[in-house]
Structure 1
Amino acid sequence: MSLLDMVKEAGIIGAGGAGFPTHAKLASKAEYILLNGAECEPLLRVDQQLMAMFPDEIIKGFEAAGRQVSAKKAIIGVKGKHKEVITILEDRIKALKLEEYVEVGVLPDIYPAGDEQVLVYELTGRVVPEAGIPIQVGCVVVNSETALNIYYASMGKAVTEKYVTIAGDVPNRMTVKVPVGTPIMDVLKLSGIENFDDYAVIDGGPMMGPVMTEIGGYITKKNKGFVILKKTHPLIRRKSASKEQAKRINRASCEQCRMCTDMCPRYLLGHATQPHKMMRSLMYAANSNAPNDLEAQKVGQLCCQCNLCELFACPIGLYPKFANNFFREKLAEQGLRYKPNKEVFEARNAREHRLVPSKRLIARIGLHDFDKPAPMTDTSITPETVHIATRQHVGAPAVPVVAVGEHVQAGQLIGKIPEESLGATIHASISGTVTECGNDYIAIRRD
């Protein structure tokens, strides 16, 4: 069986949060394969620890993926501040006699170094076109945990577990491995908090992750971590603003200083995205006699959702990302898409002077006191029942291949990819009996 088939059968998706099926990505041919070990979201600690704990497995999985896409070079992107991790990786690359093919690329400690287009530029000097993907400039990007899963797939092991960080204003900060489908509340309680009435939970990193309106869900292959903060924390209040609040504040207060644009990572890569113009269009939208320039509004679709404009750049705390999304949704309803007017892009000259240091960002969003280690622990969670989502990836939901009452073993296929569709398989994360089987999830009760 080819590596591509092994990856497909194992149900591997982008473990960094995007959830794109890895087998589809590895079906391409590229000049470079890049490993995204930046983990630039504040407080999250999964990738940096996995690279230190499982360097051989990650390097081997990464190398295998590189050979699959016919890449001439494989570059592991790690922030320079992780000196110990870099030393470990470089030593193991030499020990595995892969130094002619695999190398470590040192990244600056900036946000968002983990944005795949920023990563491509930092490691290769190439700029991904507007509305484009890395393969357009000869690059394929995989996450550290994804590379680890590729190695395990080559050994015949499916994805049934996920590493997540628990961080924030909590007694116990940690990174832990849990079965896919574990109740999120079971994971959150490892933080040492039992009653969450006064707390809010961010699903993912504090910059891009949404505040969860319901914490009764289940772990998926995409989860990276949970940041727990008091509901009174300014970051929670900012991220919890309603659409109407954001629209009203934007229309009333924006002074068109264009800081949101000048600090935008995609704008600095030479793209046309300009959040301040979306703010302007939003103000015009309040006036029925104002011009409705659909072409100008299309650049809102170029937003990478990094949230730097809202949580760092805007000097008066407005919501430029909301303005981008407002027009993105409006144009999507009309079936209108942005089309680049050129193919080759160059980073703007000012870019090197506008990079945002991670420490400064962490202080700005009020997380300095919580920027502490979240060490990997051996703490085990053995949920009585797991709920494995059929849609935890980009593409069509998995089609169940089991029925209620059927006994399954951990690692057994329980959902397949629909015919002629983009998707990913799902597998039982525990051994037990199927108690529910529907379009949304498959529930398994432990033996």
Structure 2
Amino acid sequence: MSSAVTVFEFHGGIHPEQNKTQSLQLPLGKPKLPEELILPLGQHIGQASRPLVNVGDHVLKGQTVAINNGFLSSFLHAPTSGRIAAIEERAIAHPSGLSDLCIIIEPDHKETWCDLRPLPLWQESTKTNVLTYLAEMGIVGMGGAGFPTQVKLQGAQKNDLEYLIINAAECEPYITADDMLIREKTAQLIQGIQILQFLIEANHVIIGIEDNKTNAIELLKNELRARQLDKQIKLAVVPTKYPSGGEKQLIQLLTNKEVPSGKHPIDIGIICQNVGTCSAIYDAVVLGQPLISRITTLTGAALSQPQNVDVLLGTPIKHLLDYAGCDSSQLQRLIMGGPMMGFTLENQSVPVVKTTNCILAGSAKELPQPDPEQACIRCGMCEQACPASLLPQQLLWFTKSQEFEKAEHYNLFDCIECGACSYVCPSSIPLVQYYRHGKSAIREAREATVKSDHAKLRFEARKARQEAEAAEKEAKRLARKKPAPKKEAAKTDVSASATATSPTTGGSADTPTKSTNNDASKKLKIDLAIAKAKLKKLEKALTAAQEETRTEEITQIQTEVDEQKKTIDQLEVELAKVAPPAKATKVTNSEEASVKQLKIDSAIAKASVKKLEKAIKRAEDINAPELEELKNQLQPAIQRANELETSLSAAQEALAKSSTPAVVQSAELSEQAQADVKKLKIDIAIANAAVKKVKKNIDTMKSEGQDDTSIDASGLPRKLSESETKVTALQAKLVALTSTTPSSATTASDTTASPTEVNPLADKIKKQKIAIALAKAQISKLNKRLEKEPENAAEIQVAISEKQTAQTTAEVELAQLLNTQEKN
């Protein structure tokens, strides 16, 4: 090598007996095909794959049989050609011992490949295309939990990477799968590393390998030297120590950087990949072969022929034990993985999956039963052995007493479950099992909280929808109950008759035109009613989609709603041309219902955004696999909330204009009054624009991930409150000005209230009084909440400002209504 890589140290670690030579005595084996291959749909972290085949279908080797079913999911391919015998629940390789949905293939022993599609010009392709290709080839991390490789590399492309570390340490006792892979596929491994470097462009590439793999080290040195890559790819030989193959421990060994608690290597500019993953990337890109096989170590004293085998995914463990000559009388315990981090298999029919690196068939002497657990003697050996620099003793006490919050405070989730603490414990305490139980309990509690919040959101949305429907039904009932204004109708008929027969206006010569206009008006009214009914149906469907957070349907339905609203606007314009109103019309029940529905939709959308933000925060705390999916849902939800807020502001402004009884045609006002009204309207429009701009800035800061404290410090909530107060004050001035301006068209008959108009006025006064009382109660409730939740001060202050604005508006409208009542 041109220059040696400095190797550092990490805290703790142990030196258990290696037992690696047993499985390296024989060359790489290749078992024959079993009677059936069992392919679990969940061979990776995240969502299980979705089947593409049916029972009875014939598949070819390498054919896709299941596709990814979400962001954290992967493709699955047929390891050989044959027939789909079943898709059913089977026992899988998992510590729980439970079963899962599997695809069962009966081999036809022809090994017929499907059409392979390699990427020979991968260096000329875009990185996105290569990543998509790797996803379709089903490549996942083969040294750990099976994290989908394309997801990990996509995260790397968003950051400037300092190091690409290839993990070849393989520190756990008994396991030699990576050692054998390096010996058998050295050239393919190096080419796979080159493809990885093309995708992420790290500043430094280092292969980390323990010093007990002398043959593999020599082969890597020769291959790098032959390809003249020893300056671009450095080989770092680290001392044999468990668990130096842990991701964070290897990073500390090679870079002297420590991954912060709760963070990932990518956060400090480092990404790690296993040698098995690099080899699988080579097979996919250069040969066009998906991930259908892997090298697995068969070892243990119960086997007469321990060795490494290149085995097809889905091969039953029993088939491999027979191949390696397992003596059932000697078999005491069967483990998948190594003795430190592996788990016991109770069923030999479980299959090999993408992350299966070792099958350990141990005898009673080799894997004796653990001694009974005794009391902790506080020797501190567990703390000295912990590679994550934790305090295992305190974590034990907290998990035993179910004080999980304290356990989290002591960084329980930083535990890598390596088993070093249990290995050195003189009291034989199964520390790792306690930690696993604690983690599981915390995750279950978090999931229950998320589900509870989601259920609460759906309940509130459903309740709001039911209240809106009930209000709409009540409005229709009142509309049917209200008698028709007979006197006004008679007056209109007489006026129309006089106009039709008056010689000064054209008399009967104008009758055909009016008849045509009436027909057109009638048709437009029918079309308008149909369009509004369709809009109402779409809005109900949109509300239902929002309750269940169906993002794709929400976008589609929202587009249809917008188009339908445009159609309604066009019909109303055409109707106004055919039959223009003689004076400003009063607000209809449908307009009020539309504003109310918009308020409900806006509230639901805002609540959805807040719930998603809380869920994302909780998912980030536990590094949940649903994190990226939740983040993908957040931006459409924010956009939807902003659109509804804009629509609501416009509707409220239109409603305020149409509901102001004192605002009359500009021709009815004096010239000075017209100028004052016009100026006030311009001021209101400017103030409304300022409100929208502040809200947009707040939404932008939230979408960028800034918390409430940062938003509050920016002063935007205060500006929002001031702008909304200004709008309310200007609207009050406009109401006062127009209500006191004398109208030239006002007559004594207009100011005389008919008996039918008394009840509606009283109802409006009653409603405004209720609205004021409700606003005051809500403000009081928010103030109490502000005292209890100072951390949410910014959000609560905005809500208080909104309620104060609503109260002021209601008081202005009440004063206006009382003034009208006194005049009448």
The TM-score with structure 1 as length reference comes to 0.67
Tell me which amino acid in the other structure corresponds to 2:376: C
Among 401, 406, 411, which residue is 1:295 paired with?
Answer: 406
> For 2:376, which of 249, 254, 263 is the aligned residue?
254
Bigger helix fraction: 2
Q: Is this contact kept in 2: 1:7–1:23, CA < 8 A?
A: yes
Q: Which residue of 1 aligns with 2:349?
A: 216
SS across alignment from 1:237: coil
| Amino acid in structure 2 at the alignment position of 1:9 | E
| Equivalent of residue 204 in structure 1, options 337, 341, 344 | 337
Residues in 1 aligned to 2:232 and 2:224: alpha-carbon distance in whole angstroms: 9
Using a 3 Å threshold, how does the CA distance of structure 1 residues 236 and 297 change in structure 2: closer, same or farther? farther
Question: Does the CA-based 8 Å contact 2:377-2:427 persist in structure 1?
Answer: no
1:308 equivalent in structure 2: 420
Q: Distance in 2 between matches of 1:20 and 1:151?
A: 18
Give how far 1:218 is off. Answer: 0.8
In the alignment, structure 1 residue 161 sits paired with structure 2 residue 298: no
Instruction: Report the equivalent of 2:707.
Output: none
User: What amino acid is aligned across from residue 300 of structure 1 in structure 2?
Assistant: L
Change (3 A) 1:71 1:258: same
Q: Which residue of 1 aligns with 2:142?
A: 15
8 Å contact from structure 1 (residues 34, 140) kept in 2: yes
Distance 2:130 2:218 in 1: 29
Q: Which amino acid aligns with 2:419?
A: N
8 Å Cα contact 1:72-1:101 kept in structure 2: no
Identity across aligned pairs (percent)? Answer: 28
Cα distance in 2 between the residues matched to 1:160 and 1:194 = 29
Shift of 1:134: 1.4
The offset of 1:258, in angstroms, is 2.3
1:31-75 residue CA offsets vs partner (Å, 9 max, x unmatched): 211111011111111111211221111011012102211111111
User: CA–CA distance in 1 between the matches of 2:350 and 2:404?
Assistant: 41
256, 259, 265: which is aligned to 1:134? 265
Cα displacement string for residues 129-170 of structure 1 (whole angstroms, at most 9, x for unaligned residues): 113221122111111111011111112111111110101102
Secondary structure of the structure 2 residue equivalent to 1:162: strand
Q: 1:117 deviation in Å?
A: 0.5
Q: Please state whether the residue corresponding to 2:344 is helix, strand or coil.
A: coil
User: Partners in 1 of 2:401 and 2:163 — Cα distance?
Assistant: 44
- Structure 1's 323 and 93: CA in aligned 2 closer, same or farther, altered over 3 A? same
In structure 1, the residue matched to 2:385 is 263
Q: Please give the per-residue CA displacement for 1:204-247, whole angstroms capped at 9, x wherever unaligned.
A: 111100111212111111100111112x3473523xx9xxx8xx
Among 439, 461, 468, the alignment partner of 1:328 is: 439
Q: C-alpha separation between the residues in 1 aligned to 2:401 and 2:210?
A: 42
Counterpart of 2:369 in structure 1 is 237
Equivalent position of 1:317 in the other structure: 428
Contact 2:162/2:269, CA 8 A, preserved across alignment? yes
Distance 2:165 2:375 in 1: 42
Q: In the alignment, does 2:394 pair up with 1:277?
A: yes
Residue type of the partner of 1:171?
A: S
Q: Is contact 2:181–2:295 with CA below 8 Å preserved after alignment?
A: no
Match of 2:188 in 1: 57
Distance across 2 between alignment mates of 1:228 and 1:163: 17
1:25 Cα offset (Å)? 1.2
For the structure 1 residues 82 and 100, does the alpha-carbon distance in structure 2 shift closer, same or farther, using more than 3 Å as the test?
same
1:145: which partner in 2?
276
Deviations 1:237-284 (A, max 9, x none): 23xx9xxx8xxx3xx5112222212210011xxxxx321102223554
Secondary structure of 1:110's match?
A: coil
* Partner secondary structure for residue 41 of structure 1: coil
Give me the whole-angstrom Cα distance separating, in 1, the residues matched to 2:255 and 2:415: 22
**Structure 2 runs not aligned, ≥5 long:** 1-124, 448-625, 631-824
Q: Is the 8 A contact 1:26 1:69 kept in 2?
A: yes
Between the aligned partners of 1:167 and 1:283, the Cα distance in structure 2 is: 35
Which letter maps to 1:324? Y
Mark the CA change 1:282 to 1:141 in structure 2 (over 3 Å): closer, same or farther. closer
User: Larger Rg: 1 or 2?
Assistant: 2
CA-CA distance at 1:297 after TM superposition: 4.6
Q: Summarize the alignment of residues 47-446 of structure 1 with structure 2, pairs less than 5 Å apart.
A: 47-155=178-286, 156-169=288-301, 170-193=303-326, 195=328, 198-230=331-363, 232-233=364-365, 235=367, 237-238=369-370, 249=373, 253-267=375-389, 273-282=390-399, 284=401, 292=403, 294-298=405-409, 299-311=411-423, 313-335=424-446
Q: Which residue of 1 aligns with 2:152?
A: 25
* Greater relative CO (CA pairs within 8 A, separation 6+): 1
Q: Using the alignment, how far apart are the partners of 2:408 and 2:437 within structure 1? A: 10
Q: Distance in 2 between matches of 1:103 and 1:77?
A: 9
Q: Is the partner of 2:263 in helix, strand or coil?
A: coil
> Post-superposition shift, 1:98?
1.6
Mapped contact 1:90–1:103 kept (Cα < 8 A): no
Name the CA distance, whole Å, in 2 between partners of 1:99 and 1:50: 20
Aligned length: 317
Deviation by residue 1:284-336 (Cα, 9 ceiling, x = unmatched): 45xxxxxx47234542222101011112x212221221222232222223229
Equivalent residue letter for 1:80: D
Q: Deviations along 1:174-216, whole A, 9 cap, x unmatched?
A: 0001111111110122221253684321101111001112121
CA separation in 1, counterparts of 2:336 and 2:329?
15
Q: Using a 3 Å threshold, how does the CA distance of structure 1 residues 178 and 284 change in structure 2: closer, same or farther?
A: closer
Following the alignment from structure 1 to structure 2, what is the Cα–Cα distance between the partners of residues 46 and 284?
40
Contact 2:209 2:237 in 1 (8 A): yes
Change (3 A) 1:80 1:293: closer
Equivalent residues of 1:43, 1:205 under 8 A apart = yes
Asked if the contact 2:249/2:387 (under 8 Å) is kept, the reply is yes
1:275/1:323 contact within 8 Å kept:
no
One-letter identity of the residue aligned with 2:305: N
Taking a change above 3 Å as real, the CA distance of residues 116 and 196 of structure 1, as seen in their structure-2 partners, is farther
**Distance (whole Å) between structure 1 residues aligned to residue 404 and residue 320 of structure 2:** 47
How far off its partner does 1:421 sit? 6.4
Instruction: Assess, with a 3 A threshold, how the Cα gap between structure 1 residues 5 and 214 changes in structure 2: closer, same or farther.
Output: same
Tell me if structure 2 keeps the 8 A contact 1:199–1:229: yes
Is 1:4 equivalent to 2:113 in the alignment? Answer: no
Structure 2 matches for 1:28-47, cutoff 5 A? 28-29=156-157, 30-47=161-178
State how far apart, in whole Å, the 1-side matches of 2:404 and 2:234 are.
47
Matched residue of 1:265: which SS? coil
Distance 1:24 1:199, change over 3 A: same
With over 3 angstroms needed to count, the CA separation of the structure-2 counterparts of 1:4 and 1:293, relative to structure 1, is: closer
SS at match of 1:253: coil
Residues 280/255 of structure 1: CA separation in 2 closer, same or farther (3 Å cut): farther
Aligned AA (2:334): V
Distance 1:264 1:320 in 2: 11
Residues 1:294 and 1:74: Cα distance change in structure 2 (over 3 Å): same
Write the letter of the residue equivalent to 2:197.
Answer: G
